[in-house]
Amino acid sequence: MKQSLRLSSLLHPASPHWSARLHVTPAKLTPFWRNWLYDQGSLTARLIALSPGQFSVECLKEGYGLPSPLEQKELRMSPSQRVWFREVTLKLNGAPVVYARTAVPLSAVNGKMTRLQHLGNRSLGSFLFSEPSLQREPLKVSHCKANTLGLTWCRRSVFRINQRPLMVSEAFSPNLLSFI
């Protein structure tokens, strides 16, 4: 991924086209994209099943910062509150198939949630879907902002673990089609 490309601006454009705004309903998507974008299960598990032994995670960037305007809204934060964030590429056989960003309000990074800061190149899904208190708000789907990576569709969802929120945004690469 080029240094100049900010994943948060790609996934959270200033004028988002999320399903709630432009009515990108599942019925308007091709069966392939509907199946991948609206799947409620672990994306990690699904990618591993698609290409056993070929899944990897590359952590591109993580740290503390300000949330995007969309993260502020979805996580019910004020503009001055900070988040811990992590941006990764999920790969199959070395090819990027998903770009993802996780944002957690700093006030929620305690207890079990501190484990998120130590994932390194491990998947978020391996942590999230092992938590018994996990709750997921409805998925929202959008076209991606025009980009040099060829990413066209993204989705986002807010999860809660013990009532503490985190937002996950994922953009899907057309490379995924070559593994189907």
What domains can be seen in the chain, in order of their start residue? 7-13+22-179 (3.40.1410.10)
Question: How confident is the model at residue 11, as a pLDDT?
Answer: 73
Q: What tens digit of pLDDT does each residue of 1-47 get?
A: 343 356 776 676 655 444 444 456 677 788 899 899 999 999 999 99
Residues 6+ away with beta carbon under 8 Å from 45:
125, 129
pLDDT, one tens digit per residue, over 128-153 is: 998 999 999 999 988 887 788 888 88
Specify whether the CB–CB gap between 12 and 140 falls below 8 A: no
Contact yes or no for 17/137 (Cβ under 8 A): no
Task: Identify whether the C-beta of residue 83 lies closer than 8 Å to the C-beta of residue 71.
Answer: yes
CA dihedral 43, 103, 129, 161 (to 10 degrees): -150
Question: For position 57, what pLDDT does the model report?
Answer: 96
Tens digits of per-residue pLDDT, 34-62? 899 999 999 999 999 998 889 999 999 99
Residue-wise pLDDT tens digits, 58-100: 999 999 999 998 999 999 999 899 999 999 999 999 999 999 9
Q: What is the pTM of this model?
A: 0.87
Q: How many CB atoms lie within 10 A of CB 124?
A: 22
Mean pLDDT of 106-134: 90
Q: What's the token pair of residue 122?
A: 């491990």
What values do phi and psi take at 18, rounded to 5?
-70, 155
Measured CA to CA, the distance from residue 122 to residue 54 in angstroms comes to 14
Residue 80 CB neighbour total at 10 angstroms: 7
pLDDT at 144: 81
Q: Where are the alpha helices (DSSP H) in 12-168?
A: 19-22, 31-37, 43-50, 69-74, 124-128
Q: Which of 95-99, 100-104, 111-115, 167-171 shows the lowest mean pLDDT across its residues?
A: 111-115
